[in-house]
Structure 1
Amino acid sequence: MTMIPSQGHLGPDGRTAGARDGAPGVRILGPLEVAVGGAAYRPRGPQVRKVLALLAVHPREIVDVATLVEELWDGAPPATAVSTVRTHVYHLRQELERELGPVARDTVVTEGSGYLLDVPAGRLDIEEFTALCGNARAGLRAGRRESALEALDAALGMWRGRPLANVAQGRVLTGHTARIEELRLRAQELRIEAAMGLGQHREVVPELIRLVAVDPLNEWLHARLIDALHRSGRRSDALRAFHHVRSVLAEELGLEPSEDLRRLQHHILAGERAV
């Protein structure tokens, strides 16, 4: 494995992920890593990385050999597929033990017809991320926007790039990556809601511009950008943003703007604040 400096992300309890009680932590919100203490390790072999990645997106659940075969060979496995999977698992365990010690080797457990990643809850960054987002949602429901914003900033700060960025993904992992990316988008939307609820309209404009550039067909994001510009006193910029999204929707999908977007345009043209 390749050793890199630990990111030292904080979990919901304020302690560093992967360093608690000496147990390894696994990070998938970016390049796949196994972390322990003050260091993190990335498996070298592409197939070994796939095996670990598939176990990591099913923590503490048995991943059967058939699923591993499907991911590794994308529907065209060789006759030696099952034995090759066993070999990859063996190399993964050896590598973990060599780099992190016997406790890390024991995180990959053989169970019946498959394998599982036996790590305690909270040692995976995706679990810490979803816990923080859950805390934020509860805070927003209770009207605690400041604490919700803090939790969302911590959650989004855990991301280091695309999920499993150093793993060549097959059909199974691609589906999981899409699900995780959707969780990130929802967290970003919740953060925008919390910040705008606190009156931080000017502050969210740069982030909204970035987000609509990444996801140009997301009408919700466009509406929040238009609203934030309008509430920041940038009426002409807000109208330009409306005309831009109308052109994008027409060219890409042959659609007119949503009712939400048209209502915002009406408020701007009438000189009213959006509600």
Structure 2
Amino acid sequence: MIIVNGQQHSQIDVTDRGLSYGDGLFETLKVQNGRPKLWQMHIERLCNGCNRLQIPLPDLAALRRDVDTVINNSGANLVLKLLVTRGRGQRGYAYSGTETPTVIVMSAPEYRVDARDYQQGVRAIICQTRLSHNAKLAGIKHLNRLEQVLARAEWRDPLIREGIMLDDAGFVIEGTMSNILIEKQGVLYTPQLSRAGVCGVMRRKVIETLHAEHLPVCVKDITAAELLAADSVAICNALLGVMPLSQIDNTVFPVSPLLTGLVAKRLQDADA
């Protein structure tokens, strides 16, 4: 089911700036038992992105009504995507500031993962496509995802489940669809994202949950060498939760209780 600006249909104006320039934002949510998980975190990131791009905030009450309508008509367990664009505009990059945002809510089938993947881990590669630095866009989930599209095209092997992306300086930033967590000597590390990357809601949930329990979490620049020298590595996003990596390129990693069992249990207890 798709709702556009409060109406059930699947069409947008061809002059929409989201189509022309990627001028907008999106959120991908997991819906479980009829409930959109981590809703407040998703909305906070969406609002932050709108403020950063100077897109008027959507009516959040109306947005939630549309979300509930889609869930009620599509099923209790599914993937939900929210998109907010600047709306229709004239030709050219400049915007007037009077545009009316386009708000889209759409559903997709439940994202299913084999439970054995959480026990055994999955494989990843380090991508050749680099993420460029742009502090004004870093952190938000804007619609310009061409770097991820190019990176995802680097492999066809179905056994490879993720590609890890570095920035122009060679630091580890994120996966094509996930954030990175590494463990070294009992401490959890995750890349800092002030120059590139998306601040994922599951990454935030992991950090906040462990901080609340006074467990060490360090956000820092991480080199590819440090990544490959980690005791264990995991990826995380709103659909996967926390999933261990068993191999990156030719480097094999054990599955860590810290990054799987302990983190997963804490997130479950925290109603992640």
TM-score by length of 1: 0.24
**As a proportion of its length, which structure holds more helix?**
1
**As a proportion of its length, which structure holds more strand?**
2
**Larger-Rg structure:** 1
Higher RCO (C-alpha 8 Å, min separation 6): 2
